[in-house]
Chains A and B, each alone.
Chain A
Amino acid sequence: MKDKYIFRTGVLLIFLFMFTSLFLGMDTCLAQEMGEAEILEDSLAQPPAPPTNVVAKDAPNDNGHALLVTWTLSADDGVGRNNVVSYQILRSDSPEGEFEVRGLVPAGENIFSDEGAKEKEDANYFPPHKDFYYKVRARSDGIFSDSEVSAPAQAYGQWYHTGKTPVLFAVIIFSTFALVFITVARKGKELYIRPLAGIEAVDEAIGRATEMGKPILYILGLGSADMIATIASFTILSRVSKKTAEYQTPILIPCCDPIVMAVAQETVRAAYLEAGRPDDYKQENIYYLTSMQFAYVAGVNGIMIREKPATNFYLGKFYAESLLLAETGSLAGSIQISGTDEIAQIPFFVAATDYTLIGEELYAASAYLGREPVLLGTLKGQDWAKALVMIFLILGALAATFHFQWFLNLLKVQL
């Protein structure tokens, strides 16, 4: 009897416990749900504050197919309810019309560049000189609020890129220096330039080839005709071939580019004409080999081994083949004068050739060889421009060290 009583009491207590737990749990869940509902209801009731002061204006320094949209951040972006996730930028061609989404930026940003294509056939064509209206939508997990529609804005191209003003000033200053010294040189003033061993050896090298009765090998490099190093090499070739015409020394010019070959043929023909020996000009000595780097080197090395030129000129744009050429020339016993603006190849030329023109010395070589006042004047102008650059370097380093930002901003270029 007593056992039955205890058993029944125990079962009753267990059930009581279960029901109580259940009730408490439900109560907790409900409280949670109620809490979330309160929050959701709170959010649903009040979306983030809309952005304000939406301004659309033409994007500066462009070709007229972009507008810049700015706005004041929502009052709930980072502060207040702090529930802004992103901003959507919408555009329409009328204030009451349908707005399409043009872009999305994360919270905290208040600028967007609406760009498009300039081709009419393109799906993203952005017409210039057409009114566009913008509004900015502050978004937060499915809820959002829109700003007022902006005033109309039109995109148009600019006549001058203000971000490139430092470049313009540099060009003007440099050109002024060059023109001033050209004028000074034309007036007959003696301009001193430091001697370059490579340039002074050119006459000696050509003389050596003439004495030995061997040809001269002139390599214009692997660059195309539009490269400055190749153009500089053409001007040197003009003077070298004039000398070879006078001394009647054969000159071999295997080329790596067809346009370079055509220009080289014309250069040498004119030089022979000027030297009064047009009949000695042999077009077959100036030919195209191949545009492939190492195939070209193999061809030139073969020429060096077979023809055994007395003098080799390597003047122009060179790459990895520079050492192959120079070492083979050394094997063939030639005197070698090299020059390139390709800095990686300078050490190889310095190690393997007799004379090397480094970088801008190659560009200056035509002035050295011809000694024309106008060319010397340009060289002096270049030197003065370099001095000015050095001054600006020092000033810039000081400005960066002492945080004179206004000075550094003067030199900033926006491309």
Chain B
Amino acid sequence: MRRTLPIAVVAGVGLFMLVQYFIPLEEFETLYEWALDWTMVIGCFAMLLGLYSLTTMMVTKVKRKAPGWGYSLVALAGLFFMVFVGVVPHYQDSLKYGTLFMDIFEYIYIPIQAAMFSLLAFYIASAAYRAFRARTVLATILLVSAIIIMLRLVPLGPLSGINQWLVNFILTVPNMAAKRAFWLGVGLGATATALKIMLGIERGYMGRD
């Protein structure tokens, strides 16, 4: 029962979602919307689960004074402070421009996020230096294409026109063909995986082999 019921639920709901795609009747539409609503509700409650897991893990780390426990303390303090600031002083107005909550978001969170993203510039430079070697024919093609695309931002004088044409060609012809093939494969793979899940063939997500 413990094994059969989840498979039956997955199969039933999966089949319904597939069938309702082809039936435009209002009743099916209503059921579909009801299913969407429930997905949102489950997602919101799952957040509480995540919050519990995170808090438990960090409190345990602080109690045991495990390596790096100070960072856990900072994370906990940040978490509860933001909840307090968001809920207590202004409640619904806390999301308005100019409140402490939004000020923390704008002056602490946004710069930190932007800084993390900017690390990519350094990492791509080191990854490109390490990986873009003309070891094989395909690697050489990759290397040359990458350089042509990067050069579109560089003023090359009379060569800019040729470079722009090449960039356009690479993006609109081989790139588009490869992406289409990729998406076809991914689409078929996703359909196959969905079918396997609905038929109960794929059960790894349930913790069963």
Direct contact of A and B (CB under 8 A): yes
Q: Is the interface of B mostly helix, strand, loop or mixed?
A: helix
Question: What sequence of 0s and 1s flags, for each residue 252-288 of chain A, a beta carbon within 8 Å of any chain B beta carbon?
Answer: 0001011101110011111100100000000010011
Give complex CA distance A375, B200 in Å. 11
Please report the number of residue pairs spanning A and B whose Cβ atoms sit closer than 8 angstroms. Answer: 199
User: Does A157 sit at the interface, judged by CB under 8 A?
Assistant: yes
Q: Chain A contacts of B204 at CB under 8 A?
A: 231, 234-239, 267, 366
- Max chain B CB contacts within 10 Å: which of A239, A258, A274? A258
Interface residues of A in 352-399 (CB under 8 A from B): 352, 358-360, 362-364, 366, 370, 374-375, 378-379, 381-382, 385-386, 389
B169 within 8 A of A: no
Q: How many residues of A contact B (CB 8 A)?
A: 88
Choice from B22, B126, B195 contacting A168 with Cβ under 8 Å: B22
Structural contact, B189 and A259, CB atoms closer than 8 A = no
Range for the number of chain B residues in contact with chain A: 35 or more
Question: Would you give the shortest CB distance from A157 to chain B, in whole angstroms?
Answer: 4
Q: Which residues of B contact A160 (CB under 8 A)?
A: 22-23
A270 and B206 CA atoms in complex are apart in Å by 9
A302 interface residue per 8 A CB criterion: yes
CB distance from A21 to the nearest CB of B (A): 66
Check if A366 sits within 8 Å of B202, measured CB to CB.
yes
Say yes or no: is A320 at the interface (Cβ < 8 Å to chain B).
yes
Is A288 a contact of B54 with CB atoms below 8 Å? yes
Query: Which B residues, 188 to 207, have Cβ-Cβ distances below 8 Å to chain A?
Result: 188-197, 201-202, 204-207
Chain A neighbourhood of B112, CB < 8 A? 294
- Establish whether residues B188 and A385, one from each chain, have CB atoms under 8 Å apart when the complex forms: yes
Residues of A at under 8 Å CB distance from B? 61-65, 118, 128, 157-161, 164, 167-168, 171, 174-175, 178, 182, 224-226, 228, 231-232, 234-239, 242, 255, 257-259, 261-263, 266-271, 274, 284, 287-292, 294-295, 297-298, 302, 306, 320, 323-324, 326-327, 341, 343, 348, 350-352, 358-360, 362-364, 366, 370, 374-375, 378-379, 381-382, 385-386, 389
